[in-house]
């Protein structure tokens, strides 16, 4: 979503306490054999050296690894998406797609549709088990066991494709395109989740969180981000390194209005900090104060985005999130106000994330039974399928 100037925002809490820095943590060690990075929107996304990345689409014809002739690439019409080289991204759409009245549109039998979707579990099970074992070994080899926690999540949004070179859309296959996943979802989708999916799957509110995030890096390691996070009710800062992704599976859902991304990643703590590092990072955080009208709802002293030792503040975020939970899953519905100092751009977006806690627990067992993982994965995908029901069109 496009950035909303501060003077046009509707603020609920104009006065809030300023968080007080408490403790922070260190620059990550670089290991070129263990990790690889890619820059996206000014941030470094870290992948393990043996990470697994997959993409496929699900349509009425089943699961497909390539774009069939019945599917076409079309430009996104929304003004809220990011343009590259002056062009808007592409999305996949059926050649005969029409936004028809649901009362007259023919619908496939729901049981058949759900059964076809559950085949996704078979498609990704082996990769998930392999990625988890690789993640576990990587953390054991490079970090103390308590410093990393694996997290398996499903995110909702849209797979966007950008051209790598100029030319008509009709001449492009997926190999000629670069792919990103946008997690920004329509407000109507959030409302639909709260009114239908939450009660039908017996979710109850666990807690509501309001956090501020200040992202910092150092000129010697520009891809090694330190995220300093302050939760308002705790009033102190903690820090984490970039999460390491081990598995990313993007699923384009042609018969739905949203797509899904499944991610297995490790959240990494930082447990040591030299006095010099503490001083320099604290110097940056002390210059940051809450300002409801500021960029990312924060502001900082003029010229104080770089410390004496050249730690640099490059992004700030304000996040409001509601956390729901049921017996096997946690659900996070959040709104993020973000400003990137490097690019001078900001955005406000909404997102929905499902944390697959039961599957996470099963993967941690010493003797993993594939049948149990498959069953839990199918249960989770059944819930995910319900979350993909959305009447709001992305394009």
Tens of pLDDT along the chain (395 residues) come to 454 554 444 444 443 433 433 333 333 333 445 667 665 544 668 898 899 999 999 988 889 888 888 888 888 877 667 777 677 888 888 876 554 444 444 455 677 878 889 999 999 999 999 999 999 888 777 655 456 788 999 999 999 998 877 667 777 777 788 899 999 999 999 998 999 999 999 999 999 999 999 998 877 776 678 888 988 877 788 888 888 999 999 999 988 889 999 999 998 877 677 788 888 888 888 888 889 888 889 988 777 788 777 788 889 999 999 999 999 999 999 999 999 888 888 889 999 999 999 999 888 887 787 788 899 999 999 999 989 876 655 55
Q: How far apart are CA 309 and CA 276, in angstroms?
A: 9
Which DSSP state fits 335?
E
Q: What angle do CA 367, 131, 112 make, to 5 degrees?
A: 90
Taking alpha carbons only, the member of 249, 288, 245, 222 closest to residue 19 is: 288
Predicted pLDDT of residue 86? 72
pTM of the model: 0.83
Domains, the chain, in order of start with CATH, read 6-68+100-154+185-387 (3.20.100.10)
Predicted pLDDT of residue 11? 41
- Do 28 and 147 contact (CB within 8 A), yes or no? no
Which DSSP state fits 194?
I
- Do 230 and 210 contact (CB within 8 A), yes or no? no
Token pair for 234 = 């705790």
Taking alpha carbons only, the member of 217, 171, 182, 157 closest to residue 84 is: 182
Q: What angle do CA 349, 252, 201 make, to 5 degrees?
A: 70
Token pair for 183 = 């997690």
**Residue with token string 């929905």:** 352
Q: How far apart are CA 279 and CA 370, in angstroms?
A: 49
What sign results for the dihedral spanned by CA atoms 377, 378, 383, 388?
Answer: positive
Q: Which helix (H) or strand (E) holds 162?
A: strand 148-163
- Do 330 and 206 contact (CB within 8 A), yes or no? yes
Token pair for 135 = 């993640």
Give me the phi and psi of 279, to 5 degrees please. Answer: -60, -45
Predicted pLDDT of residue 231? 85
Taking alpha carbons only, the member of 53, 144, 136 closest to residue 360 is: 136
Strand partners, 212: 230, 318
Token pair for 205 = 């509110």
Q: How far apart are CA 216 and CA 134, in angstroms?
A: 28
Taking alpha carbons only, the member of 263, 260, 266, 246 closest to residue 382 is: 260
Q: How far apart are CA 248 and CA 195, in angstroms?
A: 29
Predicted pLDDT of residue 222? 65
Taking alpha carbons only, the member of 137, 115, 102, 129 closest to residue 62 is: 115
Which DSSP state fits 50?
E
Q: How far is CA 126 from the centre of its chain?
A: 23
């Amino acid at each position: 979503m496009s950035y909303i100037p501060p003077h046009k925002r509707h603020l609920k809490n104009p006065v809030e306490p300023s968080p007080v820095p408490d403790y922070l943590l260190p620059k990550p060690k670089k290991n070129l054999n263990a990790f690889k990075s890619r820059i996206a929107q000014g941030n470094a996304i870290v992948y393990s050296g043996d990470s697994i990345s997959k993409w496929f689409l699900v349509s009425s014809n089943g699961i497909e690894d390539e774009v069939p002739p019945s599917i076409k690439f079309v430009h996104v019409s929304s003004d809220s998406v990011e343009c590259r080289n002056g062009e808007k991204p592409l999305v996949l759409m059926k050649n005969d797609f029409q936004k028809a009245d649901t009362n007259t549109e023919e619908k496939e039998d729901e049981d058949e549709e759900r059964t076809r979707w559950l085949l996704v579990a078979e498609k990704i099970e082996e990769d998930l088990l392999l990625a988890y074992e690789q993640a576990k070994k990587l953390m054991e080899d490079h970090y103390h066991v308590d410093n990393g926690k694996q997290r398996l999540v499903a995110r909702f949004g849209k797979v966007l494709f950008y051209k790598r070179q100029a030319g008509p859309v009709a001449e492009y296959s997926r190999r000629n395109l670069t792919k990103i996943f946008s997690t920004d979802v329509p407000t109507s989708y959030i409302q639909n989740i709260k009114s239908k999916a939450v009660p039908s799957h017996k979710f109850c509110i666990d807690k509501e969180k309001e956090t501020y995030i200040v992202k910092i890096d150092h000129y010697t390691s520009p891809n090694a981000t330190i995220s300093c996070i302050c939760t308002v009710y705790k009033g102190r800062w903690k820090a984490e390194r970039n999460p390491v992704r081990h598995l990313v599976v993007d699923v384009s859902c042609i018969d739905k209005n949203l797509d899904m991304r499944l991610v297995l990643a490790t959240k990494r703590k930082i447990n040591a900090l030299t006095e010099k590092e503490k001083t320099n990072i604290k110097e940056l955080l002390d210059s940051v104060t809450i300002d409801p009208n500021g960029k990312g709802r924060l502001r900082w002293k003029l010229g104080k985005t770089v410390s004496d030792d050249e730690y640099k503040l490059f992004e700030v975020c304000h996040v409001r999130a509601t956390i729901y939970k049921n017996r096997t899953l946690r659900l996070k519905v959040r709104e993020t106000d973000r400003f990137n100092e490097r690019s001078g751009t900001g955005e406000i977006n909404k997102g929905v994330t499902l944390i697959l806690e039961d599957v996470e627990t099963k993967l941690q067992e010493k003797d993993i039974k594939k049948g149990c993982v498959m069953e839990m994965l199918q249960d989770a995908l059944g819930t995910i399928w319900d979350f993909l029901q959305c009447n709001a069109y992305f394009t």
